[in-house]
């Protein structure tokens, strides 16, 4: 049982801290905006990335609002989704190693979970695992559209891999994917140009495969910091944007104006001086990846430093309005790397705790 189960029905300020808090109404408004833009306005499928959301309840919410399924980063996340009854799962990464390939092949008996592949060697290993299990794994070929992470080169190398996969009995080629994550830090026209180049590499490769007689159903791409520019481009069939359902300081920086739906509640534990406020949340509670979190609704802050269990806030001016025991909420610098520090999420509506959801698959275990 979670510490905050006993706080159901109580106002935010009474939760045990530190606590990861979801404003369910703000989250739902963000989801509705994504559905409107992606599904209603641009007639694309939405398969939101759950790497930074994890909770099965959030997958159910997104699907009820119009998502076609969910995108996952790890096999472990995908298994958690499947055991929670979620269909339409895509693992947008390569799974490697004989035991895990066997797990992925076995998972197909419960639900058709798609996975990414980007080389002949990898596709052959997955094919063998599927044949050994007597299943077939639907795959998307991942292309390197400029991010230089995983992904095969667009064009001929993609077509050659697609042809090889079509001939494998243990795989079913479902389509192509590419993630234009390298453009996040760009703005306006420079960003639009880079997104267009990246998406053209993907959609032109899909056209080349089709010209070679290969069926490409799915062309999947895009994230929360790019989908507003990617979705209108011709040839993409679905969008993977996920973290925009919460938003945070990084997504703001990357051009998304969604509401902050996920916050961290901490509590003042010490006031060593009139300009220093110490709260019970440090870097084990709030990630510093992509930037520091920001306290909300307190006097102007000169500096914030996080040690393991302490947030050390230095105020611009002396102020005694914050007392030991007072709550202080923070908006995360990056929700993805913050949520995975927590075992559970406190779900609030109209300022009161409505539910506590567990966060499965939250570690680096893949």
Ligand X SMILES: Cc1ncc(COP(=O)(O)O)c(C=O)c1O
Binding footprint of ligand X on the chain (CB under 6 A)? 49, 52, 92, 179, 181, 223-224, 240-244
| Both tokens assigned to 281 | 């949340």
| Both tokens assigned to 61 | 């919410």
CB of 213 to ligand X, least distance (A): 28
| Both tokens assigned to 41 | 């306005």
Using the minimum distance from each CB to ligand X, give the nearer residue, 251 or 266.
Answer: 251
Between the alpha carbon of residue 314 and those of residues 51, 298, 326, 350, the distances in Å are 33, 11, 16, 30
CB of 38 to ligand X, least distance (A): 11
Using the minimum distance from each CB to ligand X, give the nearer residue, 142 or 280.
Answer: 142
* Structural element, H or E, at residue 229: helix 227-230
DSSP secondary structure letter of residue 38: I
CB of 334 to ligand X, least distance (A): 9
Using the minimum distance from each CB to ligand X, give the nearer residue, 4 or 203.
Answer: 203
* Structural element, H or E, at residue 336: helix 335-339
Using the minimum distance from each CB to ligand X, give the nearer residue, 243 or 361.
Answer: 243
Task: Give the three-state DSSP class for 339.
Answer: helix
Q: Which of 160, 156, 122 is nearest to 139 (CA)?
A: 122
Structure-derived torsion over alpha carbons of residues 25, 30, 33, 34, reported in degrees to the nearest 10 = -130
| Both tokens assigned to 89 | 């799962």
CB of 82 to ligand X, least distance (A): 19
Q: Which of 232, 251, 241 is nearest to 46 (CA)?
A: 241
CB of 133 to ligand X, least distance (A): 25
Residues 154 and 204 sit within 8 Å (Cβ to Cβ): yes
Using the minimum distance from each CB to ligand X, give the nearer residue, 240 or 263.
Answer: 240
| Both tokens assigned to 222 | 């895009």
Residues 279 and 268 sit within 8 Å (Cβ to Cβ): yes
Residues 337 and 14 sit within 8 Å (Cβ to Cβ): no
Using the minimum distance from each CB to ligand X, give the nearer residue, 199 or 241.
Answer: 241
CB of 37 to ligand X, least distance (A): 13
Using the minimum distance from each CB to ligand X, give the nearer residue, 242 or 311.
Answer: 242
Using the minimum distance from each CB to ligand X, give the nearer residue, 111 or 150.
Answer: 150
Between the alpha carbon of residue 321 and those of residues 17, 163, 299, 326, the distances in Å are 20, 68, 9, 9
Q: Which residues pair with 116 in a beta bridge?
A: 140
Q: Which of 236, 147, 224 is nearest to 183 (CA)?
A: 147
Using the minimum distance from each CB to ligand X, give the nearer residue, 15 or 92.
Answer: 92
CB of 323 to ligand X, least distance (A): 37
CB of 350 to ligand X, least distance (A): 27
CB of 49 to ligand X, least distance (A): 4
Using the minimum distance from each CB to ligand X, give the nearer residue, 223 or 282.
Answer: 223
Query: Which residue's beta carbon is nearest to the bound ligand X?
Result: 223
CB of 73 to ligand X, least distance (A): 7
| DSSP secondary structure, 181-203, as one string | GGGTT--HHHHHHHHHHHHHHHH
Between the alpha carbon of residue 9 and those of residues 56, 151, 353, 354, the distances in Å are 22, 47, 5, 6
């Amino acid at each position: 049982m979670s510490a905050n189960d006993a706080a159901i029905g109580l106002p935010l300020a009474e939760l045990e801290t530190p606590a990861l808090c979801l404003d369910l109404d703000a989250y739902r408004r963000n989801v509705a905006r994504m559905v409107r833009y992606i599904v209603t306005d641009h007639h694309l499928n939405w398969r939101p990335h759950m790497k930074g959301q994890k909770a099965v309840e959030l997958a159910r919410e997104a699907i009820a609002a119009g998502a076609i399924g969910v995108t996952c980063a790890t096999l472990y996340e995908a298994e958690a989704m499947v055991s929670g009854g979620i269909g339409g799962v895509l693992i947008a990464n390569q799974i490697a190693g004989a035991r895990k390939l066997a797990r992925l092949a076995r998972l197909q008996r419960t639900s058709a979970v798609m996975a990414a592949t980007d080389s002949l060697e990898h596709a052959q290993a997955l094919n063998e695992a599927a044949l050994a299990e007597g299943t077939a794994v639907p795959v998307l070929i991942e292309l390197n559209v400029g991010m230089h992470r995983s992904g095969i080169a667009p064009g001929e190398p993609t077509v050659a891999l697609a042809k090889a996969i079509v001939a494998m009995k243990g795989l079913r080629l479902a389509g192509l994917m590419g993630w234009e994550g390298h453009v996040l830090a760009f703005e306006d026209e420079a960003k639009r140009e880079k997104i267009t180049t990246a998406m053209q590499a993907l959609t032109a490769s899909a056209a080349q495969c089709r010209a070679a007689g290969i069926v490409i159903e799915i062309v999947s791409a895009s994230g929360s910091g790019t989908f507003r520019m990617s979705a209108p481009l011709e040839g993409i069939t679905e969008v993977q944007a996920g973290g925009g359902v919460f938003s945070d300081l990084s997504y703001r920086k990357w051009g998304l104006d969604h509401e902050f739906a996920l916050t961290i509640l901490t509590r003042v534990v010490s006031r060593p001086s009139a300009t220093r406020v110490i709260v019970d949340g440090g870097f084990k509670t709030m990630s510093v990846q992509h930037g520091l979190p920001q306290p909300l609704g307190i006097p102007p802050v000169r500096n914030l430093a996080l040690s393991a269990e302490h947030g050390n806030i230095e105020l611009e001016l002396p102020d005694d309005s914050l007392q030991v025991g007072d709550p202080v909420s923070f908006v995360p610098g990056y929700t993805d790397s913050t949520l995975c520090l927590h075992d559970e999420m406190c779900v609030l509506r109209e300022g009161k705790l409505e539910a506590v959801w567990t966060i499965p698959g939250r570690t680096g275990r893949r």
